[in-house]
Structure 1
Amino acid sequence: MLKEYRKTAIIKAEQFDGSEEMIKKYGIYKWRTFFTQNNDYVYYLPTEEGDLQTWIGEWITTDVNGEYWPIADDVFKKTYEEVD
């Protein structure tokens, strides 16, 4: 039977801006790509599941186990609300 569930854990998150400070903080590495108009970088966030492609504007979340995960901005805004 299909049931509904609500997320109950409070997470920490910040929006990735591509700054060197955030790159160092989360151990992100970047590769220059020549497949975009601006020769932008592609960013990768190391996780236990492998390196996940991360884009500027996505949210980097810290889960209850202290692991980092990228979440697309639109998905993040639909799923989470700020806590006081």
Structure 2
Amino acid sequence: MNYGTKASADPVRQPRLYNGFLGIGLVWSRFAVPDHAVYGATVLFLGFVLIAAAWGAFSSGNKGILVKQGLPAFLAAAVLAV
């Protein structure tokens, strides 16, 4: 599929937008969700981060993405599990 040069001109724009949405989701899960659902909502958004990191590493062939984006989410999930 050819997206053209304009869509691929700024390869940093897409991850920033994606990270912004995930950050908003984590803030929402902490402050806007009822108290009994905070844990589940936080784990859901951390899961989104882990899946997106795995997909980014797979689709780009850059395994560093898995460490850069997936490791912080994994560590946060591990802290929540304790």
TM-score after normalising by structure 2: 0.29
Task: Tell which has more relative contact order, 1 or 2 (C-alpha 8 A, sep 6+).
Answer: 1
Indicate the structure with greater helix content: 2
| TM-score, scaled relative to structure 1 | 0.28
Q: Which has the higher strand share?
A: 1
